[in-house]
Amino acid sequence: MNFEDKQFAVVGLGRFGLAVCQELVDSGAQVLAVDVDEELVKMAANIATQAIVANCTHEETVKELKLNEYDMVMVSIGENVNASMLATLVIKDSGAKSVWVKANDKAHIRILQKIGADHIIMPERDMGARVARKMLDKRVLEFQELGSGLAMTEIVIGSRWMGSQIGQLPFSQDKEIMILGFKRGAQITPTPASDIQLEIGDLLIVVGPQKELTKRLKAL
């Protein structure tokens, strides 16, 4: 996917914020990095398109930065929960298109939901959940939550289904689950035919209700 025409702003440049900046830049996006700490901004200047010392809990500052013109704003302020909430509120009120926020705990999440954050993440919890899923089932690489209970994941075919066809998999006839793609080696086939014969190591990209996916994958 081409991100060269996308603009992102990251407010809060701790380890998480800097990692987000790095990933966005590596994907080709334009990134504005913002923090009140001059030393952190200096570090971000080596990564981001632009790095600025600024306090985004102030309305005038947010207006000057024109954060409402960015495709997405990530508020990743760390331990200062009050600053995180105030910055989120001010940025939302400025008309920002989409505001993602890093939360510290459930209480923080509840307040951010009331403020109107578009997407809330808890990195430690989310990473823990992904690791647990991989520990429970090595065939599933990762769930990517899409909202409204939907998720996308990649499934690695094991020896049990070697020689079977895609249409014989336990979820292939489920109307709620869609197979988006099939990968063998470097070759990717979108919306693959049901008569493709499976080999060990083949990869399927599927999407559907996360609860239904979890239940169906147990049958693999």
Among the listed ranges 56-70, 84-98, 134-148, which one has the minimum average pLDDT value? 134-148
Q: Does 126-217 match 7-121 at the fold level? A: no
In the chain, what are the domain boundaries? 7-121, 126-217
Q: What is the pLDDT of residues 18-41, one digit of tens each?
A: 988 988 888 788 999 999 999 999
Predicted confidence at residue 15, as pLDDT, reads 87
Q: What is the pLDDT of residues 93-116, one digit of tens each?
A: 999 999 999 998 888 989 999 999
For β-strands 30-35 and 203-209, DSSP reports them as unpaired
Q: What is the pLDDT of residues 165-213, one digit of tens each?
A: 998 888 887 888 888 889 887 778 888 999 999 887 888 889 988 888 8
Q: Answer whether 11's CB lies under 8 Å from 87's CB.
A: yes
* Cα–Cα distance, 130 to 36 (Å, whole number): 32
In the chain, what's the furthest Cα-to-Cα distance? Answer: 63
Query: What value does the mean pLDDT take over residues 62-66?
Result: 96
Q: State in words which class domain 7-121 has.
A: alpha beta
Distances (CA, A) of 187 to 158, 181, 190: 19, 10, 10
- Of the candidate CATH numbers 3.30.70.1450, 3.40.1710.10, 3.30.70.1350, 3.50.50.60, the domain formed by 126-217 belongs to 3.30.70.1450
Closest CA to 201 of 215, 216, 186: 186
Q: What is the pLDDT of residues 121-145, one digit of tens each?
A: 887 666 555 555 555 554 555 677 7
Predicted confidence at residue 1, as pLDDT, reads 45
Q: Please say if the pLDDT value at position 220 is more than 70.
A: no
Half-sphere exposure of 70 (CA within 13 A, CB side): 26
Q: Answer whether 220's CB lies under 8 Å from 160's CB.
A: yes
Predicted confidence at residue 163, as pLDDT, reads 83
* Cα–Cα distance, 218 to 220 (Å, whole number): 6
